[in-house]
């Protein structure tokens, strides 16, 4: 039983309904009136679609306006059924897919209910045909079958025959009259020929009730407890699969937008964009090797007035500085990759397994370009002096031994050579020797830059000892009073400049490729800022692309969402109905990114010199694509939640 008390509704300052009070019971009832009389507005209010009115409307004593979303879902999914003037079917789907729509959240509806509804409406042979291929009469039968699956207590029919020919209209009214024997059927129409002398006619004129019969009692129905609507995960995924397959244009647009946006996001990530500064660093590194990050400290030297190999106008500078304590200070510095103590030797002879190997003197300071095997010599942390007797030897020496770099590690040798002691003011050659173990093999190529051109040669007499070993050798030569020279190798260009500035601040003058590296650091900082801005722009653009595609697609699907709504998909059940679709889209987006990664890589390399062909980057890109698809779900869900059936579904005149 419906009870309406003093119901009023205005549109744009004009009354659509004015102080309507009535009761409608069971059986077939008609609401009639000319166009604009307010009959469709009254139906929307009675069915619970529109809650923006004055007065009260109740069904079986329950105020419809106060219903929670869960109760509204039960109302639309189990209690009320709807037959529309324009059918409100999902045209892209088949007859069966439309009919079974209400069954997904019905705890009672099953395959038998679907088959029975299609059989009763004589559409079982049309089950697999797309709805768009049907005639108007056939579509109306499909719409009624969809509602019969609910087994509703009330059926609202809004101008159910106005879009049909006479034969189909007569058949539709006949069906509704049969259904009215077991439930309430409320028909809104302007066609009085359908009334057939029925005494249960409610007439509206300019929003005012002009005729209202005494209601009859609703037909007795067997009482049964109906379980609340629910949407199982399997049903949500099945609905999602149907939506993905039938909304092909929407599916492809989301997948393509997610692929493009994920590619842009991945390409603009800080780990991906290769700036001009990095390219220049790579070029210099190819020329100088690891020495590019070396910082050399000498107790005394003469600045020759050269800058990058070119004569400058700067005066020569004599430098004398105290290096004591610097080794200990920087041994554990996080900016330092390794520390080396260079000591030039003359007249070097090395004996291995009883065979002596003379080493040609280059009169050069020892050079260490790259560690090829093992480790650089270091002092023992356990206090065992024998473990500190270590040496790193040039690769050219290992070749003389006729063994591999790896096989040389751990071999013992006797080292003999001489050094010059300047303590007296004149050079005094002092012979030295040590029994040591090979800890590492090094590349000793020296790169020089003269007049803008570089040349490379090997400094074959570059031997590096562990600090403790070298200290004992220098003490034996009477050189313990002077701190030896020191090489620091920085971990990065920024670390090199930081170390150089720190030493300068403490009155220590290092040498190295500072001017080139400082330019690179500045260039990289500028590139990083530009990259950060580009990342922000591209990231925003990427998200905006997906958001725009999702928003447009969702707006175009508002009618579909409204159909779902009046089928009982309200609140969480509407979210569940859509989540299955977008979970599948997320999986498809990730898979598409993986499959298309070679093409994406070719494009990113051509445009930005960025390669994404790494497992970790492809995985990140796939996750981005999936995440963007889920973003599309959030946007779609917002639009779906805001879509009011009263506004989105076309019905008869106001």
Tell me the average pLDDT of the chain. 87
| Whole-number Å distance between alpha carbons of 333 and 499 | 10
Of the candidates 441, 448, 634, the one whose C-alpha atom is nearest the C-alpha of residue 554 is 634
Q: Is 127 in the same domain as 257?
A: no
- Burial pattern 467-497, b for ≥16 Cβ within 10 A else e, equals bbbbbbbbeebebeeebbbbbbbbeebebbb
- Structure token digits, residue 22: 């009535």
**Same domain for 270 and 349?**
no
Q: 451 with 587, same domain?
A: no
3-state secondary structure 74-129: HHHHHHEEEECCCCCCCCCCEHHHHHHHHHHHCCCCCHHHHHHHHHHCCCHHHCCC
Domain membership of residue 264 (yes or no) is yes
φ, ψ (nearest 5 deg) of residue 83 = -125, 125
Examine the domain organization and report whether 321 and 256 are in the same domain: no
CATH number of the domain where residue 62 is located: 3.40.50.300
Is there a domain that residue 654 lies in?
no
pLDDT in tens, 398-432: 999 999 999 999 999 999 999 998 877 888 999 99
Specify whether 220 is located in the same domain as 366: no
- Whether 358 is covered by a domain: the verdict is yes
What mean pLDDT do residues 349-363 have?
Answer: 93
User: What per-residue confidence (pLDDT) applies to 645?
Assistant: 86
Parallel/antiparallel/unpaired status of strands 54-59 and 62-63: antiparallel
Query: 207 and 62, same structural domain?
Result: yes
Predicted pLDDT at 272? 45
What tokens appear for 162 in the block?
């106005």
Q: Is residue 280 part of a domain?
A: no
Neighbours of 615 (CB within 10 A): 7
Phi, psi of 639 (to 5 degrees): -65, -45
Question: Which of 475, 510, 545 is the endpoint of a domain?
Answer: 510
Domain membership of residue 172 as a residue range: 2-229
Q: What was the pLDDT predicted at 218? A: 57
pLDDT at 439: 96
Q: Which residue matches tokens 């601040």?
A: 505
The answer to whether residues 532 and 498 belong to one domain is no
Query: 498-557, pLDDT tens digit by residue?
Result: 999 999 999 999 998 888 888 877 777 766 666 666 677 878 888 999 999 999 999 999
Residues 248 and 343 in one domain: no
Q: Is 139 among the domain residues?
A: yes
Domain membership flag for residue 256: yes
Do the Cβ atoms of 390 and 408 come closer than 8 Å? Answer: no
Residues 375 and 459 in one domain: yes
Determine contact, residues 506/588, Cβ cutoff 8 Å: no
Domain identity same for 57 and 176: yes
Q: What is the pLDDT of residue 250?
A: 92
Is residue 150 included in any domain, yes or no? yes
Q: How far apart are CA 214 and CA 507, in angstroms?
A: 107
Radius of gyration of the chain (CA): 44
Helix (H, G, I), strand (E, B) or coil at 128: coil
- Residues 183, 99 share a domain: yes
pLDDT at 35 over 70: yes
| 518 is a domain residue | no
- The pLDDT tens digits for 563-608 are 999 888 988 889 999 999 999 999 999 999 999 999 999 998 888 7
For 297-354, what is each residue's pLDDT tens digit?
Answer: 998 876 554 444 444 444 455 778 888 889 889 988 999 999 999 999 999 999 999 9
The answer to whether 604 and 610 are in contact (CB under 8 A) is: yes
Q: Are residues 161 and 45 in the same domain?
A: yes
- C-alpha 549/C-alpha 44 separation (Å) is 32
pLDDT value at position 414? 97
Query: How much is the pLDDT for 281?
Result: 62
**Number of domain units in the chain:** 3
Taking residues 276-280, report their average pLDDT.
Answer: 53
Per-residue pLDDT reduced to its tens digit, 37-81: 999 899 999 999 999 999 999 999 999 999 888 888 889 988 999
Q: Model pTM? A: 0.64
371 has pLDDT over 90: yes
CA distances from 257 to 15, 21, 130, 628 (A): 46, 53, 28, 9
119 contacts: CB under 8 Å, gap ≥ 6? none
């Amino acid at each position: 039983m419906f009870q309406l008390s003093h119901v009023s509704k205005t549109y744009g300052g004009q009354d659509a309904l004015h102080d309507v009070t009535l009761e409608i019971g069971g059986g077939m009832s008609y609401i009639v009136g000319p166009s604009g009389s307010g009959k469709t507005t009254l139906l929307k209010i009675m069915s619970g679609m529109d809650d923006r009115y004055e007065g009260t409307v109740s069904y079986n004593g329950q105020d419809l306006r106060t219903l929670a979303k869960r109760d509204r879902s039960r109302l639309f999914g189990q209690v009320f059924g709807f037959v529309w003037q324009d059918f409100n079917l999902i045209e892209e789907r088949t007859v069966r897919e439309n009919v079974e729509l209400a069954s997904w959240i019905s705890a009672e509806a099953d395959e038998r209910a679907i088959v029975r509804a299609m059989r009763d409406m004589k559409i079982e042979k049309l089950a697999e045909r797309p709805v768009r291929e049907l005639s108007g009469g056939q579509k109306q039968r499909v719409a009624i079958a969809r509602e019969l699956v609910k087994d509703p207590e009330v059926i609202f029919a809004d101008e159910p025959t106005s879009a049909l020919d006479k034969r189909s209209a007569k058949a539709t009214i006949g069906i509704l009259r049969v259904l009215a024997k077991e439930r309430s059927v409320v028909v809104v129409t302007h066609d009085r020929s359908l009334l057939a002398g029925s005494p249960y006619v409610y007439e509206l004129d300019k929003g005012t009730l002009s005729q209202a019969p005494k209601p009859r009692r609703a037909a007795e129905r067997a009482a049964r407890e109906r379980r609340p609507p629910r949407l199982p995960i399997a049903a949500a995924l099945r609905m999602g699969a149907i939506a993905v397959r039938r909304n092909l244009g929407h599916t492809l647009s989301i997948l393509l937008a997610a692929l493009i946006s994920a590619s842009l996001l991945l390409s603009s990530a800080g780990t991906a964009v290769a700036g001009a500064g990095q390219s220049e660093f790579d070029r210099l590194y190819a020329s100088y090797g690891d020495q590019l990050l070396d910082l050399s400290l000498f107790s005394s030297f003469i600045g020759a007035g050269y800058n990058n190999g070119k004569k400058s106008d700067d005066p020569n500078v004599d430098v004398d500085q105290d290096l004591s304590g610097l080794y200990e200070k920087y041994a554990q510095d996080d900016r330092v990759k390794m520390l080396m103590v260079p000591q030039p030797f003359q007249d070097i002879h090395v004996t291995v397994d009883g065979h002596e190997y003379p080493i040609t003197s280059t009169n050069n300071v020892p050079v260490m370009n790259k560690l090829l095997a093992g480790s650089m010599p270091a002092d023992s942390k356990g206090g065992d002096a024998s473990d500190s007797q270590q040496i790193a030897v040039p690769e050219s020496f290992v070749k003389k031994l006729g063994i591999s770099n790896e096989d040389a590690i751990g071999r013992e040798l006797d080292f003999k050579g001489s050094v010059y002691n300047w303590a007296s003011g004149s050079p005094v050659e002092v012979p030295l020797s040590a029994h040591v173990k090979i800890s590492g093999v090094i590349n000793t190529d020296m790169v020089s830059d003269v007049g803008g051109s570089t040349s490379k040669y090997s400094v074959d007499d570059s031997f590096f000892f562990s600090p403790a070993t070298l200290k004992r050798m220098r003490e034996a030569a009477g050189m313990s009073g002077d701190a030896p020279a020191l090489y620091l190798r920085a971990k990065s260009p920024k670390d090199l400049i930081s170390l150089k500035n720190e030493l300068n601040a403490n009155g220590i003058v290092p040498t190295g490729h500072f001017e080139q590296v400082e330019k690179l650091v500045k260039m990289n900082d500028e590139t990083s800022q530009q990259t950060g801005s580009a990342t922000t722009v591209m990231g925003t653009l990427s998200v905006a692309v997906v958001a725009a595609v999702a928003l447009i697609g969702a707006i175009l699907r508002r009618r579909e969402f409204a159909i779902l709504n009046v089928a009982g998909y309200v609140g969480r059940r509407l979210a569940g109905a859509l989540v299955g679709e977008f979970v599948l889209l997320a999986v498809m987006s990730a898979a598409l990114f993986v499959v298309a990664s070679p093409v994406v890589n070719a494009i990113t390399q051509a445009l930005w010199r960025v390669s994404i062909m790494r497992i970790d980057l492809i995985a990140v890109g796939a996750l981005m694509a999936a995440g963007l698809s889920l973003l599309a779900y959030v946007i779609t869900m917002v639009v779906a939640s805001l879509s009011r059936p009263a506004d989105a579904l076309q019905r008869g005149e106001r």
